[in-house]
Amino acid sequence: MSKFDFKHDIDIAWCPGCGNFPLRTAILKALEELNLDQTQVVFSSGIGQAAKMPQYIDASYFNGLHGRGLSVAQAIQSVNPKLVVIAEGGDGDMYGEGGNHFLHNVRRNPNLAHIVHNNMIYGLTKGQGSPTSPKGLKTTTQVSGVYNEPLNPVALALALGASFVGRAFTGDVEKTKEIIKAAIAHEGYAIVDIFHPCVTYNKVNTFAWYKNNSYWLNQEEHNAQDFGAAMNLALNQEKFALGILYQNKEKTPFHKAHPYYVNDSTPLVDRPKRDITKVNALLK
Amino acid sequence: MKESLSIVVSGEAGQGLATIEEFLVEALSMEYYVFTSKEVMSRVRGGNNTFELRVATSPIHSLRKTIDYLFLLNNNSFYRLPKRLLPTTVVFGEDAFVSVEEKEKYSLKYEILELTKLAKEAGSRMFANTILFGYIAGMLELNVKVAEHLITKRFIHRGEPIVADNISAFTKGYELGLAYEATLKLKKPASVPPFKVIDGNTALGIGLLGGGINYLSSYPMSPGTSVMMYLTNKADEFGVLVEQAEDEIAALNMALGASYAGARSMVTTSGGGFALMTEAVSLAGIIETPAVIHVAQRPGPATGLPTRTEQGDLNLVVYAGHGEFPRIILSPGKLEDGVLLAQKAFWLADKYQVPVFILSDQYWLESLGQMTSFELSEQYMESFTVISDKDYKRYQLTDDGISPRAIPGFGEGFVKVDSDEHDESGQITEDFDVRIAMQNKRMNKRELLLADYQDAELIGPKNYKKLLVGWGSTYGVLKEFIETTSLSDVAYLYVKQPFPLPTSLKSYFDQAQQVVVVENNYTGQFANILTLELGVNVTDRVNKYNGEPFFIEELNEQLGEVLK
Ligand SMILES: Cc1ncc(C[n+]2csc(CCOP(=O)(O)OP(=O)(O)O)c2C)c(N)n1
Ligand code: SF4
Ligand SMILES: [Mg+2]
């Protein structure tokens, strides 16, 4: 049992058999094993079934607007870099509605873990196509099948210069947990795209489909520092590679690169109150 | 209308008009009352830009439409201005800047002033602006020492020789100006109290610093960007984390994230950018996280007139955001109020956990005027946050509807905020009773926050029968109207907080037989709010919406009609 789990029963809004359950287990375990101080962890999420995750973890959270979880997380982290900040949401939330924030926060390289539940569908709104839905998938709004090319989030993150790129599948909770742990421990922006089946609305990308169409990298053999190798894995979508595709520990995180922190690493929230006499000097 | 000289300098973008303007207003402020404003085209080079320097013998904060002295800087700088000429107007420029036909058509009093030639004689074309500064200073017989001091201050970082060259260019211009037999003169007031020359942008910037701002996220959009630039320049000295967002949606969500985590945060934008923020305004409403939002108005719809002025977004900020939740809107008209309201904005946002708007406009932000020095008190730096204990509930139901606000990481508890309807702990809920309790709690603040209503100011006789009403940037021109009108039964109510309005404000209207609301927009948005919120019977509206602020002559004429 994780201290991040509730001590009382909670009413979880996911469908029985949904991949969000094992993912929750993986996150709870990761937090526990990293031995994090519960009061120093903050989740930031948007809206969607995935984005409800923080409701089911006993820590602080900012459950904001659809698509904006990453922006909020980045700001929280930048005013208090001591916090462990996790941005979480679904494929629609983070890649669709929040796409622009995804692009630009990779550039910022904030020290946070970005967990994206990728079920290749819009769950909460009852089964519309998402940015990652495969071609041909029949949905409630693409009734004859999806016709647009799906987004490749890991290749995109790599191309943008993300300092940590991982992919997991909830079919293996242990391995998923390890990647989440590595993402949290990474100093900088760390995205983990997590495959999980939506048992209610995605009848194509089922548990079996994910299992048959993915494989776990041998982390010993794969050199995660090798950008070219990572990109090759990311672009190869015949079978999806799972694991830590890429990690660059050299890239300066936002809270060390921003001019506010360059000469003084004291978190914004810990700095002394402004001296009003200095402001009054401006009025002279 | 107050006794004044209106001096307009007309040139193109990139000619350094702002520098001449700043020199002149600083120098003039020692010996005269002065106000200046620019109007520019939305382009970086070329076009036609002007500034008007209004020099007076008593305090002024408004513009004249008519011009006494017009200085042309190129052959494209006259065509927009004939409507503003008087028979007495004197035009200065190179002979070729205005055609013979036009000179005749408008019976121009034309004085040849060859700035480029003079500048070249002084060593470089670069000195043209300094010579013009000298010329105008000479015409008005301004104190040479003051001018030289200003020049030194401006150029010293470029070395002594540059200072010396500029001073000699200034002297050359000054002598010519002095020699000019001015037809229009203005007696110097016996003495002018010391003023700080300041524009709205700077006034707001100082007030924001005084309010404790330490985080700003914004996306550039004129005229809202200047506040961002001001704070960026002060960021190191005062400790402000400034981050340029990828769009306005991110900007306000980031500000809310920062505020949740303990910063005093804000965004600055204009109508179009603010439109993108509206969902996050609503978020601020339900999560009860403080936010200060500066909306610098310019004429819409859409891109409208990007560099011009209007008061067209009051409705937008009153109604922005889906659902129902309280908010506060402040709108400075006086420079002092720019400082004071900006400072108070954070305090109000923190105290009531609501979004607080500062609603300004291009004209107010970019005009330079004189402000009496004063000091800000530390009072508004007060933070209302608490340290959480183990059982902390972010949305604890309290008697007054304000739940103690804790910051994540400070204390033993968790801070859970939720854009879904939530229970006291911040957990999502669909329980109807909880919904009612939470909505009542939030809406209760609507009444509560009126305890800190920023009082309106009555200017003019107490026993008025006719009441003019304005908010924000119309302050200067309406005040001048009241100070100079021959009507003895007219007063002006300067509203600083256009929303929400307390019922006590109604008392101002009881004795008024005529209520005239003057606004820089088409429909009279505040007039409608007065009627809707307080049942005020607005008898007349005076509106202007061509992109310019009200000129005093215009207002005299329009009000003359209405107040008959
Ligand atoms: C601005 C806005 N637009 C649309 C919605 C409706 N909406 C809520 S969640 C969602 C998509 C959810 O899909 P995803 O992020 O993949 O999460 P999932 O439910 O699949 O976990 C949409 C469209 C919203 N809440 N807000
Ligand atoms: S709709 Fe799909 S993703 Fe959402 S809870 Fe049900 S199974 Fe899971
Ligand atoms: Mg999804």
Q: Which residues contact B502 (CB under 8 A, 6 or more apart)?
A: B450, B453
d(CA A211, CA B79): 74
Any chain B CB within 8 A of the CB of A79?
yes
* For the CA of A126, the nearest atom of ligand 2: 1
Residues of chain B under the 50 pLDDT cut: none
- pLDDT per residue over A59-113, tens digit each? 999 999 999 999 999 999 999 999 999 999 999 999 999 999 999 999 999 999 9
DSSP state of B496: S
CB-closest option in B257, B377, B416 to A72 = B257
Q: According to the model, what pLDDT value does residue A55 have?
A: 97
Instruction: Give me the residues of A, 35-54, that contact B with CB < 8 A.
Output: 38-40, 42, 44, 47, 52, 54
**pTM for this structure?**
0.97
- Give nearest CA residue, ligand 2 atom 2: A198
Q: According to the model, what pLDDT value does residue B428 have?
A: 96
- Give nearest CA residue, ligand 2 atom 4: A123
CB-closest option in B217, B287, B373 to A283 = B373
In whole numbers, what is the pLDDT of chain A averaged over residues?
97
Q: According to the model, what pLDDT value does residue B468 have?
A: 98
**Spatial contact of B54 and B60, defined as CB atoms under 8 Å apart:** yes
Above 80 in pLDDT, residue A280?
Answer: yes
CATH number of B198-380: 3.40.50.970
Q: According to the model, what pLDDT value does residue B222 have?
A: 96
Instruction: Give me the residues of B, 196-215, that contact A with CB < 8 A.
Output: 196, 206, 209-210, 212, 214-215
SS3 content of chain B, % helix, strand, coil (to 5): 40, 25, 35
Above 80 in pLDDT, residue A1?
Answer: no
Any chain B CB within 8 A of the CB of A248?
no
d(CA B460, CA B471): 16
Class of domain B453-562: alpha beta
- ipTM score assigned to the predicted complex: 0.98
Residues in B closer than 8 angstroms to A14, CB to CB, are none
Per DSSP, the three-state class of B86 is strand
Residues in B closer than 8 angstroms to A269, CB to CB, are 261-263, 407, 409-410
The neighbour count for residue A214, using CB atoms within 10 Å, is: 17
Domain boundaries, chain B: 4-179, 198-380, 385-450, 453-562
Instruction: Give me the residues of B, 275-294, that contact A with CB < 8 A.
Output: 279-280, 283, 287
What's chain A's Rg over C-alpha atoms?
19
Decide: A47 in ligand 1 pocket, CB within 6 A. yes
- pLDDT per residue over A196-240, tens digit each? 999 999 999 999 999 999 999 999 999 999 999 999 999 999 999
Residue type, B34: V
One DSSP character per residue, B516-543 reads: EEEESSSS-HHHHHHHHHH-----EEEE
Order of strands, sheet of B540-543, starting from the edge strand that comes earlier in the sequence: B457-459, B490-495, B466-471, B514-519, B540-543
Query: Could you tell me the maximum CA-CA distance found in chain A, to the nearest angstrom?
Result: 72
Please give the structure tokens belonging to residue B186.
Answer: 């203005």
**Residue-wise over B92-113: b if at least 16 C-beta within 10 A, else e?**
bbbeebbeeeebeebebebeeb
Q: Which residue has the tokens 């005749």?
A: B104
Closest by CA to B217, choosing from B227, B203, B207, is: B227
Per DSSP, the three-state class of A143 is coil
Decide: A18 in ligand 2 pocket, CB within 6 A. yes
d(CA B83, CA B99): 17
- pLDDT per residue over A29-60, tens digit each? 999 999 999 999 999 999 999 999 999 999 99
Pocket test for ligand 2, best of A11, A14, A23 (most atoms within 8 A of CB): A14
Instruction: Give me the residues of B, 315-354, that contact A with CB < 8 A.
Output: 339
Distance A157 CA to ligand 2 centre (A): 25
Decide: A121 in ligand 1 pocket, CB within 6 A. yes
Q: Which CATH superfamily does the domain covering B4-179 fall into?
A: Pyruvate-ferredoxin oxidoreductase, PFOR, domain III (3.40.920.10)
Pairing of strands A240-247, A164-169: antiparallel
Distance A105 CA to ligand 3 centre (A): 20
Closest ligand (CA of A90): 1
d(CA A4, CA A53): 12
Q: According to the model, what pLDDT value does residue A178 have?
A: 98
Q: According to the model, what pLDDT value does residue B183 have?
A: 85
- pLDDT per residue over B456-470, tens digit each? 999 999 999 999 999
Which domains are assigned to chain A?
20-282 (3.40.50.970)
How buried is residue B285: exposed, middle or buried, by Cβ count under 10 Å (0-12/13-18/19+)? buried
d(CA A42, CA B414): 9
Q: CA B388 → CA A36, B331, B536, distances in Å?
A: 18, 35, 46
